[in-house]
Structure 1
Amino acid sequence: MVRNESNKTALLIAKQWPEPTSTAAGRRTLDILDLLADAGYRVEIASPAQPTPFQAKSGYGEHQIEVNDSSFDPWVHALDPALVVYDRFMMEEQFGWRVREQCPGAITLLDTSDFHSLREARHQALKSGQPLNLFHPIAEREVAAMARCDLTVMISQIEVELLQRHFCLPDWQLHYLPFLVRQLPDVKALPGFDERQHLVMIGGFKHAPNRDATTWFAQEVWPRLHALLPGVECHIYGAYSDHAMHRLSDPATGLRVHGRAEDALATLARYRLNLAPLRFGAGQKGKILEGWLSGTPTVTTPIGAESMAPEDLWGYPLSDDPQQFATTTAQLYQNKTDWLAVRDAGTRALESGFRHKDHAPAFIQRIEDIAANLDAHRNRNIWGRILRRTAHRAEEFMSRWIEEKNKRNDG
């Protein structure tokens, strides 16, 4: 991709270096950076994480930074970004006060990838059997970071509505931006029903919902499904697989846990069905998007389907009951007509909800509108101003104390 040259600089402060082949969050991050580059920004990425062999070769500038280290201050001041993007609320907590001190005119944007607080609340409800509790300490931190930023970008329209309804964030502080697809697949050119066999699951194992989905599938769904489809195998791929995940393999029945898939779309295109048995989580699901892009029908749960497509589009009953999940999978695996209908429904979902041209211009326009009226925009955000002046000072003083403590220890 040819990068536009401009005096405007956009800085991403990332918790991890983007790994689009490992996580949906990495794909999402590159979507946003590519949008900014196309709009004329010079893009720079900074992260306190150690580099990995799997991080994207994006062509953007890369900078190693440290938490609780004042060397960041002159560096970011000299960089003088027009826009600063935090890819997690923790990065805003760590670096937001420094950015505001050194670059007060920079627009600040928080990209949550998914609403971490919602994912955590669902995880706790699943483990405890108690009702969903949205109002917990992580929610307080995440929503506070949203309030301090000029704009929060959400990947789920459902989560936008939740933030408005339950946390009273105004619509002018939120912007919906889904995964972006520049070119729709020609599914007729991809392998068809008769050319594919077996089942597939895919998703990085650093992500708690994927670990839970794999365990639940292996223990609760697979025995039922194997009885319905004897001789059919299920292959599970995931970056950062470990011993706990590999122990779930059962070669005698055809359940096999692999490591990373080097090319997710090419891998998925070999299989007849893509499974996403998620029991908790938030945001949009990269594994489902990749299923659609590879022409591989996906069987998922209500949580997996959330924010991806309306319930009536999927072509089968969405369920997290293990027997129903197994029954639906067996039906689609064996019935070519139903398989084609679900595949085509995925293509329609891509067309209606994820096209680059339908979302990219509005995102850039939103940033330009804020830039043109930054003072007025910030004056409307009285709670953000209060938080920046009071509560967030705690992060600043803690960071300064840790830095001084580290200096004394090093001495």
Structure 2
Amino acid sequence: MSRNTNRKHALLIAKQWPEPASTAAGRRTLDILDLLSEAGYAVEIASPAQPTPFQAKTGYAEHQIEVNESSFDDWVRTLDPTLVIYDRFVMEEQFGWRVRAQCPDAITLLDTSDFHSLREARHQALKSGEPVNLFNATAEREVAAMARCDLTIMISEVEVELLKQHFCLPDWQLHYLPFLVRALPDPETLPGFEQRQHLVMIGGYKHAPNRDATVWFAQQVWPRLHPLLPGVECHVYGAYSDHAMHRLSDPATGFRVHGRTEDALATLARYRVNLAPLRFGAGQKGKILEGWLTGTPTVTTPIGAESMAAENAWSYALSDSPEQFAATTAQLYQNPSAWLAARDAGIRALESGFSYPHHAAAFIERLETIATNLEAHRNRQIWGRILRRTEHRAEEFMSRWIEAKNNAQSDR
């Protein structure tokens, strides 16, 4: 396989246009694209989603594409990217077989943002009371997409180990890439304990864990916490809030659902304590990272803390008990020493786990290693090769059938 490893042209095929002000996934996507651009890649974005008023002005070339349309084949062959990134496994299912046929030498990379099937399994377990079942239908599809790609980047070390131990994915097909922090916050320039007031929650409501967290906090934690902090309000922000979320507002007790905030960091910096009462989920948590970046101590659960920092690194005992969550929040809100300890623990977590120079360099080095040894790398992927030859053809034939059906209807 002959390759020109000096030419660097990256194409992101995105399920949605990146909305960094709405979701942590949107911010992570732009971080990755900026990282690639700084490494010398020409970067372009394509998506079948309709544009939104909240999508980022990325500065990169953007293309509207269609699913189940063979016109994509000619387009991507002409574009001829050397690196193709799918930001969800469903995008790999839709377009992966087309990319492989038209651009066989392009490195393919899956960015999961989080392990979707783990999040779904935890959600189902929470609703049913049954143990978590990792081996669900979504996992079959998601792991198959990982196997078909040259590399999968994971935002959680916990999920890397889970994929290796329970799904037998090899280490050389996975790469850990956390949120990337270019500069640590300077506590001297941020509002201090006395300059802040009230509690804050933040998170987009297209994300099921955020909806559940808001409901659980409003119904189970706030009635216990409000009496401990008389006069203190809790302000909840989230993109795509709807009537169900706004109905949780209770002005009489100071629980207020506001909806979208245009600048999450500026908003968080006004509040004394940040809350992340997550009961299920996966991956790293943008709301916690933003709390640390603004010097806002964050109270969270074991699920929220997972993949962010070790259990003993939070300055308080993690808990998903409503009583303990309320007690910890009250302690950080009222005690300046406890507040400072939690703030400093967050800054230490940023420094130890999210260094841009370390993780960015390792990621680019990994891509370059694969590019210079692509044939050997792919020869090791026997299960990916089998899936590309057999089971994944179902997506291809379904897509071709839908396209033929659509064309027939348009001819009538």
Shorter chain as normaliser: what TM range?
over 0.9
Q: Distance in 2 between matches of 1:409 and 1:119?
A: 39
Residue 339 of structure 2 is matched in structure 1 by 339
Residue 290 of structure 1 is matched in structure 2 by 290
Q: Distance in 1 between matches of 2:282 and 2:240?
A: 21
Residue deviations 1:335-356 (CA, integer Å, cap 9, x gap) = 0000000000000000000010
Contact 1:7 1:42 in 2 (8 A): no
The runs of 5 or more residues in structure 2 that have no matched partner are: 1-5
Residue deviations 1:190-221 (CA, integer Å, cap 9, x gap) = 00000000000000000000000000000000
Q: Distance in 1 between matches of 2:360 and 2:123?
A: 32
SS of the aligned residue for 1:219 comes to: helix
Residue 202 of structure 2 is matched in structure 1 by 202
SS of the aligned residue for 1:337 comes to: helix
Shift of 1:259: 1.1
Residue 358 of structure 1 is matched in structure 2 by 358
Quick check: 1:245 aligned with 2:245?
yes
Residue 225 of structure 1 is matched in structure 2 by 225
Residue deviations 1:272-308 (CA, integer Å, cap 9, x gap) = 0000000000000000000000000000000000000
Residue 46 of structure 1 is matched in structure 2 by 46
- Residues 11-90 of structure 1: pairs in structure 2 closer than 5 A: 11-90=11-90
Residue 182 of structure 2 is matched in structure 1 by 182
Alignment TM-score, normalising by the size of structure 2: 0.98
Q: Distance in 2 between matches of 1:118 and 1:367?
A: 26
Q: Distance in 1 between matches of 2:378 and 2:176?
A: 20
* Residue type of the alignment partner of 1:374: L
SS of the aligned residue for 1:236 comes to: strand
Q: Distance in 1 between matches of 2:57 and 2:294?
A: 23
Q: Distance in 1 between matches of 2:230 and 2:54?
A: 36
Residue 143 of structure 2 is matched in structure 1 by 143
- Residues 316-335 of structure 1: pairs in structure 2 closer than 5 A: 316-335=316-335
Runs of 4 or more consecutive aligned structure 1 residues displaced over 2 Å after TM superposition = none
Shift of 1:8: 2.0
Shift of 1:140: 0.1
Q: Distance in 1 between matches of 2:224 and 2:353?
A: 34
Contact 1:9 1:82 in 2 (8 A): yes
* Residue type of the alignment partner of 1:197: Q
- Residues 399-410 of structure 1: pairs in structure 2 closer than 5 A: 399-410=399-410
Quick check: 1:116 aligned with 2:116?
yes
Q: Distance in 1 between matches of 2:254 and 2:222?
A: 10
Contact 1:15 1:47 in 2 (8 A): yes
Residue 258 of structure 2 is matched in structure 1 by 258
The runs of 5 or more residues in structure 1 that have no matched partner are: 1-5
Q: Distance in 1 between matches of 2:199 and 2:114?
A: 27
* Residue type of the alignment partner of 1:22: S
Higher mean Cα deviation, 83-92 or 222-231? 222-231
Shift of 1:7: 4.3
SS of the aligned residue for 1:35 comes to: helix
Residue 310 of structure 2 is matched in structure 1 by 310
* Residue type of the alignment partner of 1:138: T
Residue deviations 1:10-62 (CA, integer Å, cap 9, x gap) = 00000000011100100111111111101100000000000011111110010
Quick check: 1:301 aligned with 2:312?
no
SS of the aligned residue for 1:59 comes to: coil
Quick check: 1:278 aligned with 2:278?
yes
Higher mean Cα deviation, 208-217 or 180-189? 180-189
* Residue type of the alignment partner of 1:287: K
Alignment TM-score, normalising by the size of structure 1: 0.98
Q: Distance in 1 between matches of 2:351 and 2:400?
A: 49
SS of the aligned residue for 2:259 comes to: coil
Residue deviations 1:326-381 (CA, integer Å, cap 9, x gap) = 00000110000000000000000000000101100000000000000000000000
Shift of 1:237: 0.1
* Residue type of the alignment partner of 2:309: A
Quick check: 1:9 aligned with 2:13?
no
SS of the aligned residue for 1:258 comes to: strand
Q: Distance in 1 between matches of 2:19 and 2:369?
A: 31
Q: Distance in 2 between matches of 1:45 and 1:262?
A: 23
What is the root-mean-square deviation of aligned Cα atoms in Å?
A: 0.6
Q: Distance in 2 between matches of 1:310 and 1:147?
A: 29
* Residue type of the alignment partner of 2:104: P
Q: Distance in 1 between matches of 2:205 and 2:268?
A: 17
* Residue type of the alignment partner of 2:186: D
Residue deviations 1:153-184 (CA, integer Å, cap 9, x gap) = 00000100000000000000000000001111
Quick check: 1:154 aligned with 2:132?
no
Q: Distance in 1 between matches of 2:55 and 2:257?
A: 23
Q: Percent identity?
A: 82
Q: Distance in 2 between matches of 1:404 and 1:8?
A: 35
Contact 2:7 2:82 in 1 (8 A): no
Number of equivalenced pairs: 406
Residue 3 of structure 2 is matched in structure 1 by none
Q: Distance in 2 between matches of 1:299 and 1:155?
A: 21
Q: Distance in 2 between matches of 1:262 and 1:66?
A: 30
Q: Distance in 2 between matches of 1:409 and 1:304?
A: 48
Contact 1:209 1:281 in 2 (8 A): yes
Contact 1:73 1:102 in 2 (8 A): yes
